Amino acid sequence: MKYIPLGTAGHVDHGKTSLIKALTSIDTDRLPEEKKRGMSIDIGFAYLDFPEEGLRVEIIDVPGHERFIKNTICGMAPVWGVLLVVDAGEGVMPQTVQHLRVARAFGIRRVLVVLTKIDRVDSQTVELAKEEVKELLEKEGMQAFSFYPVSSIRGEGLEELRRGLLGYAKECYKNREEDFFRFYVDSAFVVKGYGTVIRGSCVSGKVEEGEILVLEPVGIKGKVKKLQNHGVFVKEGKAGERLAINMPEIDHRRVERGFLLLKEGQLIKSQRLLVRLEGKAPKGVGYLFLGMREVSFRHRRVEEDICLLSLSEPLPAVRGDRGPLLDSSGSLTGSYEVLHPLPLRFSKKFIKENLSLLLERPEEYLLLEVGKGGLSLERLFSFFGKPVEPSRIKGVKVGRRLYHSSVIEELKQSIKRELEGRGGFLSLSELRERLGVSKELLEHVLKDMKELTLLEGYVLDARRANLEELEGYRRLMEMLREGIREERELLEYAQYLPLAVRRGKAHSLGHYLYISDQLLREYEATLRSLGREFTVQQAKEKLRLTRKYLIPLLEYMDRSGITRREGERRVFVKWSS
């Protein structure tokens, strides 16, 4: 079944609660004081099923009086759409406007308009109310899904409204089941035989019996023993659904409205948010709602509508979160949209220079922001509030971190500069310390720098480094100076051999044979003592080598331009008598 949470909005005594009761047979005024005063004080809950569509509309009814605006905000925080309720006789009133602005602050742009109490007015008055609402919506930058004149007392227009509700709910549906789990808590109580029950709205993800959840911001962990949706036990809860979660390990007295239930390790909390503002930012200390959680903040403007917020407590926000802003008097001043829930760099210069990236290609902004520290997959997923396929991001993946390509190139240049300043030879640990990077990243970059080699814990540029400082290299050269060696004899020094050849300190004769440059020159000098020309037999006797080694040596001298073969004899190409 799909669950679509919708909220009511409208001025006090415009018939929101009566409308919900007429539609669902559920009275959302549950508090004794509400019954006594005939007015909603807190948020109430109902539902309307469309079994043929496999859909349940979760309805949150909010109070209409201006004194309870914060309760209204809490009620609208989890919803995906709004039923704007307007008394056809009174038309638009102050809380009609205020509630509409709260809905807009949470990102809702289309509302279903219900014109109530039509049994008390004539059709012309209904039309006037409709036109007045249209003007208000246009002024606030919003639209009407449709208009439904009803009488909750007579039942007039309710069937048309039900059909409209179904269409509106389908339009509002958001598939958030694969997102990370977030649950907005609105109350907690104790049930005999079960213990603590935490009630609220699942705004994203899924939860099952037996899972461990974390209550934030207090960080208390608990196991889910049972789940209910409107009094019916369920095995699983999902995005959009109202749930009562039985968590006996948590003391209900520690739970407050505005707390969140999360799954451990999914979302990272931050005390800074980079946001886009609409309306006015409160002067001095302001207040924002992340879901139902109200926190104070101070802001620093980066650009006209871009601000960096410093919060009074860390919050687990994700990109795209929205909510209202209030000033110290509790008046609504504007709204925010989270562009970056986990900012690491706070300088105006960096943010302004890369703002277009943050708006259009946020993954690239994140890679630039983290620099050579790398972007962990955990941070990437937390930013978006859901797993993201790393392959879609244009970055260099090293282990479980991603790096901007420019960071890799800058590191390569830094490594070259460090080696140049140290004669092409530097220990890996010292290089890593000087660059301030992880061992994993450094080794990845070094592998891509073909001109460099990692030996005995040292990074070296074979063209510049003093290889004699390497013990393995010294032992290799000693062996090659003693005589021509087969490759299998040098396996222990396989890493050093290419360096020696590249530096011209050793030569590959072919046939898997190697000789040191020093010994090659000694053999050449010995052969020159025979004169400008010599035969294979003369060379064999003079050098005392078997044909296995002699022939490859002489052929290498031919290829190197030291000698030239003429019939059965070899002639030195360069000769001075």
Question: Is residue 435 one of the residues assigned to a domain?
Answer: yes
Mean pLDDT for the chain overall: 92
Q: Give the pLDDT confidence of 205-222 residue by residue, as tens digits.
A: 999 999 999 999 999 999
pLDDT at 13: 79
For helices 439-448 and 428-435, what crossing angle results, to 10°? Answer: 110
pLDDT at 394: 85
Edge to edge, what strands does the sheet with 220-223 contain? Answer: 220-223, 212-216, 260-263, 182-191, 195-204, 242-246, 226-229, 232-234
Domain-ending residue, one of 432, 465, 498: 465
pLDDT at 422: 75
Angle at alpha carbon of residue 237, lines to 180 and 9, rounded to 5°: 85
Q: How far is CA 328 from the centre of its chain?
A: 33
pLDDT at 428: 86
Identify whether the C-beta of residue 227 lies closer than 8 Å to the C-beta of residue 279. no
pLDDT at 38: 56
Question: Is residue 32 one of the residues assigned to a domain?
Answer: yes
Please write down the long-range contacts of 154-159, taking CB distance under 8 Å and 24 or more positions apart.
Answer: 154/119, 155/22, 156/118, 156/119, 157/118, 158/22, 158/23
> Would you say the pTM of this structure is higher than 0.75?
yes
Q: Which residues of the chain have pLDDT under 50?
A: none
538-to-483, 533, 535, 543 alpha-carbon distances in Å: 19, 10, 5, 9
Identify whether the C-beta of residue 103 lies closer than 8 Å to the C-beta of residue 9. yes
Domain-ending residue, one of 372, 388, 419: 372
> Strand (E) positions, 16-142?
44-50, 55-61, 81-87, 110-116
pLDDT at 65: 61
pLDDT at 32: 62
Indicate the burial class of 418 (C-beta count within 10 angstroms; 0-12, 13-18, 19 or more): middle
Q: Nearest to residue 100, comparing CAs of 335, 336, 338?
A: 335
Residue-range definition of the domain harbouring residue 348: 270-372
Question: Is residue 22 one of the residues assigned to a domain?
Answer: yes
- Do 333 and 274 lie in one domain? The reply is yes
**What is the domain count for the chain?**
5
pLDDT at 199: 96
Identify whether the C-beta of residue 78 lies closer than 8 Å to the C-beta of residue 46. no
- Do 79 and 114 lie in one domain? The reply is yes
- Do 234 and 347 lie in one domain? The reply is no
- Do 293 and 350 lie in one domain? The reply is yes
pLDDT at 333: 95
pLDDT at 503: 83
pLDDT at 31: 54
- Do 19 and 160 lie in one domain? The reply is yes
- 44-50 and 2-9: which strand pairing? unpaired
pLDDT at 175: 92
- Do 31 and 165 lie in one domain? The reply is yes
Question: Is residue 399 one of the residues assigned to a domain?
Answer: no
- Do 235 and 305 lie in one domain? The reply is no
- Do 158 and 68 lie in one domain? The reply is yes
Domain-ending residue, one of 116, 141, 172: 172
CATH of the domain at 274: 2.40.30.10
- Do 354 and 460 lie in one domain? The reply is no
User: Measured between alpha carbons, how far is 509 from 501 in angstroms, rounded to an integer?
Assistant: 11
Question: Is residue 238 one of the residues assigned to a domain?
Answer: yes
- Do 152 and 63 lie in one domain? The reply is yes
- Do 358 and 416 lie in one domain? The reply is no
Q: How far is CA 39 from the centre of its chain?
A: 43
236-to-73, 245, 283 alpha-carbon distances in Å: 27, 10, 44
pLDDT at 99: 93
E strand or H helix that includes residue 273: strand 270-279
- Do 250 and 164 lie in one domain? The reply is no
